[in-house]
Amino acid sequence: MRSERDKNAARAQIVRAMGIGMVGGGQSQNSYGSWTAGDPVALARPPEDFEHGTFGPATPVRPSPVDTAPQGLNRAQPRRWQYPPTWNMPKPPGTEGTRLTSFATLRALADMSSFLRMCIDKRIEEILGLEWDIVPTIDAASSILDDVDRADFQYRRAQAIAFFQRPDPEFDTFHSWLRAALEDVFVIDALSIYIAPPRVPGHGLFGTDLAALALIAGETIRPMLDLQGGRPQPPAVAFQQYIFGVPRVDMVDIITDEEMDNELGVPQSALRGDQMLYLPYHRRTISPYGLSHVESVLLPATIEMSKQMYAKTYYTEGNVPASWVIIGNADTPQQVRQWQDSLDATIGDIGARHQVTVLPANSKAEETKPNAFSDNYDMANKEEILGVFGLTAMEMGMMPGRSGSSGGMAGSAHMAQIGANASNRTATKPLLMFLKRNLFDLVLQKFAGQKDMQWKWLGLEAEVDPDKKLAAETLLVAGGLRTRDEIRLEHGWKPWGLPLTAMPTVQTPDGVVSLAAPATDTTNPDVNNPEIRDIDTAGGVTENEDPDSNSENTNPDVGEGATGGVTHPDPTGGSGGRTDNTPNPNTSSPLHDSMPAPGSVAPPSDQPTTKSAMTELDQLRGYIRHGRDIKKFETTYLSNSALQIVAENLPVRGLASTIKMVQSEIEREGDPIYAEVAEATAVLLRRARYGNISEWGMLDGIAHLMKAVVDDPQIDLLVGELTPKSNSGECLDVLEKFDDLRRRSLQE
């Protein structure tokens, strides 16, 4: 065995290797860092970086960790902030020493101060005056082009609107609920919403376990901390409600059913009914609590209250004696007291501080603090409060910069008109976006599972002259910067879905010319042109069935030479739609781009066009090899979807593999059977990504499509490789394997 001396020598060698040098006075750093010796908690300290020079910074002190390193890491993780020890021990919320005052004081101040109440109500009423709506997300709006999808969205939108019209049964309307929520934001900044479950599981909004957004008094909720000072993640307790000074309920941070099953590995019932949405608006790193508007103006609001109390006492008990009386023959204190008692008895004692006071002869009285109901600081103090609330003096009917001046009842309305309003106030829009992203969109997309929906506040945009707006939109369309269908979607109108309206065009002396297909006579587009194909609907689809259904295909005998195409469920509810062969910018989305558009290359009957696309692909290969930007490559025969496939897969697969994949795809796209299966697969993937169908419904639908062409048990294994998040390369790999199976089955 090694001797103790050898061990010490080895330890010293390790210390030297880690760069532990000498500090001031010749004292070895290891002398005060020995309590960490043997623990891999510090980084190397090369002496030349810190000590090889005069007046150097000295080698950094070795850390003394307070936490154990997590499994798989050699060093402890940093804490988010220096929280007080034993934070999670029983204490009433807000009494941990990180707040300026208690929640009760903030509530009382907001109720007692008339000026503070005016500021709070002004901000709340501005927001209550805005209308709201539930609209498609940007990606979803561009994909809703047929009547079936539009009707489906409107049906689900009506359910969501009905829920938000009364999100909490305790409040009769949405506006009364929102007023109470905003009160907690402005006064205590502790908006707390309990995700209330339904009485029967699965009977909440859209079949989820969300029955109501129940408002909870924020001062009763105390956030817990994990070891790093952050919010504990489920299933650990994240919040406790204190009633009568004692924790009564444990609650967890928000989490969806999918996360419960896939990530936590705990039964759904273990976390159902105990989720809390805790939303401080002014979050900081030094506290889990927020910093409310009222707490931010605690000092000026207290001064304002003291000034009001000063005025109140003047008209009640009084602040100073009303008058002084100097008695000529009162030479001693006893004589002064006799005269004082005599006057009090004659006129009555009307208050200990509001009375006639007797002074000896030759006395002189001077006020050290004269009465001042209004001074130059009054308006400055008010403007401090107004500044925190994002208001102006003119909105409150006061003239800025003047001592307590007011515009009066008549002038208030006039000055409010020239002041800021909810549509352009810099403080209002961030709060509205906070509520949209952290509350309403979260409920719609994460809890209700409607990923294609979003909350929208109406009236935030500045009012624009309709004539000027129409002229601006016309110029954008004429210049090819916008399409007609884009403009119609923004107005909430149904897009035309025609080649001339879906693609960018420019106005020329000879008429309207499409930028997507300059060689085509766009003034009279031929919708029967074989190069013009629909990329948004399943062209050959003939049955309008639910894609999740397991019904048998009505035409299972379709072969490679069949002319009717594959007969399968119609995921889009129809076979009409756009007729051009270039991706519609209104339908561009990660899922649209994840599959090549059927018809994006010429059909096999047009061999010269297919050959030209291959030649152009060869040119693209050389273009990329020279380090040029693929976005600047101009195509004539090669489709935009092919360019998208190259751009997406080039960083992952490399140039040779990506070009080979596109070549194979161009050849396969000439096969109508393959094209229709690929097209319908893309539609099902898109609907699954937007949450219109479940992932299992998507997989069953795709498997049903493929089995209608080739009955092979390996189809289920192929389809199982897909998810709604599959990129174009993964989708094409699955379709390539499907095509190989189909060709082998035909040979057999």
Q: Residue 562's pLDDT is what?
A: 35
Question: Is residue 154, in this structure, part of any structural domain at all?
Answer: yes
Q: State the virtual CA torsion across 385, 387, 388, 392 in degrees, nearest 10.
A: 80
Q: pLDDT category, 299, cuts 50, 70, 90? A: very high
d(CA 219, CA 662): 61
Residue with tokens 């993780």: 77
Q: pLDDT category, 617, cuts 50, 70, 90? A: confident
H-type alpha helices, 318-374: 333-347
Q: Is 323 helix (H, G, I), strand (E, B) or coil?
A: strand
Instruction: Give the DSSP letter of residue 207.
Output: G
Q: Residue 252's pLDDT is what?
A: 92
d(CA 727, CA 719): 14
What pLDDT, in 10s, does the model give residues 731-741? Answer: 888 888 888 88
Mean pLDDT of 324-348: 69
C-beta of residue 419 within 8 angstroms of C-beta of residue 167: no
Closest CA to 505 of 525, 533, 483: 483
Q: Work out the number of other CB atoms within 10 angstroms of the CB of residue 678.
A: 24
Residue with tokens 């106005």: 507
CA distances from 100 to 97, 105, 192, 290, 511 (A): 8, 10, 20, 11, 70
Which one is predicted more confidently, 195 or 30? 195
Residues 186 and 208 in one domain: yes
Mean pLDDT of 110-132: 92
Boundary-marking domain end, from 291, 309, 328:
291
What are residue 132's DSSP bridge partners?
457
What pLDDT, in 10s, does the model give residues 583-603? Answer: 333 333 333 333 333 333 333
Residues 681 and 539 in one domain: yes
Which one is predicted more confidently, 726 or 206? 206
Mean pLDDT of 475-486: 85
Q: Which of 15-29, 218-232, 572-586, 670-684 has the lowest mean pLDDT?
A: 572-586
Domains in the chain: how many in total?
4
Domain range holding 7? 1-78
Sign, Cα dihedral of 334, 339, 340, 346: positive
Mean pLDDT of 464-489: 82
Q: pLDDT category, 610, cuts 50, 70, 90? A: low
Quick one: the chain helix, strand, coil %, rounded to 5? 45, 10, 45
Residues 517 and 565 in one domain: no
Residues 592 and 720 in one domain: yes
Mean pLDDT of 384-409: 71
Which one is predicted more confidently, 534 or 435? 435
How confident is the prediction for the chain on average, in pLDDT? 74
Residues 547 and 579 in one domain: yes
Boundary-marking domain end, from 49, 78, 107:
78
* 383 Rama class: left (phi>0) / alpha (psi -120 to 50) / beta: alpha
C-beta of residue 19 within 8 angstroms of C-beta of residue 42: no
d(CA 146, CA 154): 12
- Taking 80 as the threshold, does the pLDDT of residue 21 lie above it? no
End-to-end CA, the chain:
74
Which one is predicted more confidently, 34 or 501? 501
Residues 71 and 141 in one domain: no
C-beta of residue 224 within 8 angstroms of C-beta of residue 323: no
Q: Residue 613's pLDDT is what?
A: 74
Q: Residue 366's pLDDT is what?
A: 58
Instruction: Give the DSSP letter of residue 268.
Output: G
d(CA 457, CA 190): 23
Question: Is residue 131, in this structure, part of any structural domain at all?
Answer: yes
Question: Is residue 378, in this structure, part of any structural domain at all?
Answer: no
Tokens of 207: 């079949």
Residues 676 and 565 in one domain: yes
C-beta of residue 637 within 8 angstroms of C-beta of residue 609: yes
Residues 66 and 177 in one domain: no
Question: Is residue 606, in this structure, part of any structural domain at all?
Answer: yes
Question: Is residue 503, in this structure, part of any structural domain at all?
Answer: yes
- Taking 90 as the threshold, does the pLDDT of residue 674 lie above it? no
Residues 174 and 63 in one domain: no
What pLDDT, in 10s, does the model give residues 160-185? Answer: 999 999 999 999 999 999 999 999 99
- Taking 60 as the threshold, does the pLDDT of residue 447 lie above it? yes
Q: pLDDT category, 231, cuts 50, 70, 90? A: very high
Bond from prior residue into 40 cis (ω within 30 degrees of 0): no
Residues 536 and 520 in one domain: no
Q: Work out the number of other CB atoms within 10 angstroms of the CB of residue 647.
A: 17
Which one is predicted more confidently, 421 or 386? 386
C-beta of residue 219 within 8 angstroms of C-beta of residue 107: yes
Q: Residue 40's pLDDT is what?
A: 60
Amino acid at 3: S
Which one is predicted more confidently, 30 or 725? 725
Q: Residue 268's pLDDT is what?
A: 63
Question: Is residue 459, in this structure, part of any structural domain at all?
Answer: no
Burial (0-12, 13-18, 19+ Cβ within 10 Å), 354: middle
Question: Is residue 30, in this structure, part of any structural domain at all?
Answer: yes
- Taking 80 as the threshold, does the pLDDT of residue 642 lie above it? no
Q: Residue 161's pLDDT is what?
A: 95
d(CA 68, CA 574): 61
Burial (0-12, 13-18, 19+ Cβ within 10 Å), 625: exposed
Residues 503 and 570 in one domain: no
Predicted TM-score of the model (pTM) = 0.58
Q: What are phi and psi of 513, to 5 degrees?
A: -120, 130
Question: Is residue 51, in this structure, part of any structural domain at all?
Answer: yes
Q: What are phi and psi of 572, to 5 degrees?
A: -100, -10
Q: Is 682 helix (H, G, I), strand (E, B) or coil?
A: helix
Q: Residue 539's pLDDT is what?
A: 34
Residues 510 and 639 in one domain: no
Q: Residue 258's pLDDT is what?
A: 60
Closest CA to 709 of 683, 741, 670: 741
Boundary-marking domain end, from 291, 307, 342:
291
